Amino acid sequence: MKPVVALVGRPNVGKSTLFNRMTRSRDAIVDDMAGVTRDRHFGEAMWEGRPFVLVDTGGFLSNDADSFAAHIRAQVEMALEDADHVVLVLDGKSGVSYYDRDLVDLLRAKGKPFFCIVNKIDGERHEIALTDFYALGIEEPFPVSAEHGYGFSDFMDALTEDMPLEDEGNDGQPEGPIRVAVVGRPNAGKSSLINRLLGEERMVVSEVAGTTRDSVDSLVEYGGKTYLFVDTAGIRRKGKVTHRVEKYSVIKALQSLERCDVALVLLDASEGVTDQDVRVAGYASDRGCGCIFVCNKWDLMPPEKKDVKRMKEELAMEAKFLGYAPVLTISALTGQRVIKLFPMIDKVYEQYISRVGTSHLNRIIEDATARTEPSLHNGKRIKFYFASQVRTSPPTFALVTNYPDAIHFSYKRYLVNQIREALGLDMTPIRIKFQERS
């Protein structure tokens, strides 16, 4: 059953604009059936693999209802009856109106939690308009521009956070849990995250003995899959960190990296990317496991710094070598987006264990070398004779060539990027080895 989301709000606040934006990604897929978008008040939406049904309650009612108050009341009744989530849309341009107050009071009286959007916040500098709305006693209004998209993804993240993922059927994954390590400098929030994950009620958790002495792993079942969080005991047990135990925790980190398929590289977003973070990321990169940058303590970020794009740019600059690692902003404290880790782990893992057929791979290499030839080596051409994938986890390719030692690192990087692009492997490390023709 897909959750139902209802939009409520007085006319002209931008409900149908928002409706269109929310259903747009889906429309691209079901365009034939969509008909005239403008007149629909009921549609399918999907955000990061979480499908839901969207209802614009305002659109169901005629604007010449007996009275405005009756109109609003009917909207709310409808929303509360059918919807799992209610989204109140307010107009950040025209400010708070009497009717907004009425709507808020009505929703409150029903005792059902609701999301609140202040629309027409077309950019950061419009956020000043939010202050008016605090007077309504709403704790966390989402500033959004339905028309331009500002603030939209933050709102959608929050809205869909607890929604179930789409059933995907069997995707042919190998048996056995995905092994996940949580690493990061002291105080990044590792134990908070582990405790939060293991404490989630929707998860079935059991402890199993790890492979090293007195290490304990935790098996977590989520969305029909099993994940093994390695070396959780050490992380949970740890209290306050001092410099003395820090050395120890680096070893722990290295051990768990050794045992994992995917590493969550945790950092304290409120402190920015520090040298120590880069070092930990370096360990993960060396290990060659799948990696996800998890920017924790997002709740501490002041609004003007709550900018995922900027965070990504900072990471791309400071930790270039992990350019393939996706970035997720979370709060282990409030639980915000923590659940999103699972689909992201799945994606990274899928690429990490992927395989490509030899003929396909050889075509990719042929095309790539035809497009851009390696530079000459002592006046002689460097040739590639044959390519094959020699292992997965991470995908590793062997290229047979006449001058394995003469290939410039920039050309190697070019080949890696060509393989990434051709195979859609944007989130996993990839390795290439050059072998001399025997």
Q: How does DSSP assign 302-324, residue by residue?
A: -GGG--HHHHHHHHHHHTGGGTT
Rule CB under 6 A: which of 145-204 touch ligand GDP? 145-147, 184, 186-192
Binding mask 48-87 for ligand GDP (x = CB under 6 A): ----------x-----------------------------
Q: How near is the Cβ of 198 to ligand GDP at its closest, in Å?
A: 13
Residue 83's CB is within 10 A of a number of other CB atoms, namely 22
Rule CB under 6 A: which of 275-314 touch ligand GDP? 296-297, 299-300
- Report d(CA 102, CA 110) in Å as an integer: 13
In the complex with ligand GDP, which residue's Cβ is closer, 241 or 400? 241
Would the annotation count 145 as a binding residue?
A: no
Beta strands in 337-420 (DSSP E): 384-391, 396-401
Q: How near is the Cβ of 365 to ligand GDP at its closest, in Å?
A: 42
Partner residues linked to 117 by β-bridges: 89, 142
In the complex with ligand GDP, which residue's Cβ is closer, 195 or 392? 195
SS3 of residue 236 by DSSP = helix
Size of the site for ligand GDP (CB under 6 A): 31
Q: How near is the Cβ of 378 to ligand GDP at its closest, in Å?
A: 52
What Cα–Cα distance (Å) separates residue 313 from each residue in 170, 175, 191, 269, 326? 36, 36, 27, 13, 12
Would the annotation count 319 as a binding residue?
A: no
| Closest C-alpha among 83, 84, 2 to residue 49 | 2
17 binds ligand GDP per the rule CB under 6 A = yes
Contact call for residues 399 and 364 (beta carbons, < 8 A): no
Rule CB under 6 A: which of 247-276 touch ligand GDP? none
Structure tokens at 374: 């390696």
Partner residues linked to 436 by β-bridges: 401
Give the residue, chosen from 50, 71, 120, 347, that forms a contact with ligand GDP under the rule CB under 6 A: 120
Rule CB under 6 A: which of 211-230 touch ligand GDP? none
Beta-carbon contacts of 403 under 8 Å, excluding residues fewer than 6 positions away, are 377, 380, 382
Residue 181's CB is within 10 A of a number of other CB atoms, namely 30
Structure tokens at 387: 């390519």
Binding residues for ligand GDP, rule: CB under 6 A, are 9, 11-17, 58, 119-120, 122, 145-147, 184, 186-192, 241, 296-297, 299-300, 331-333
Binding-site positions for GTP read: 9-16, 56-60, 119-122, 184-191, 231-235, 296-299
Annotated binding site: 9-16, 56-60, 119-122, 184-191, 231-235, 296-299
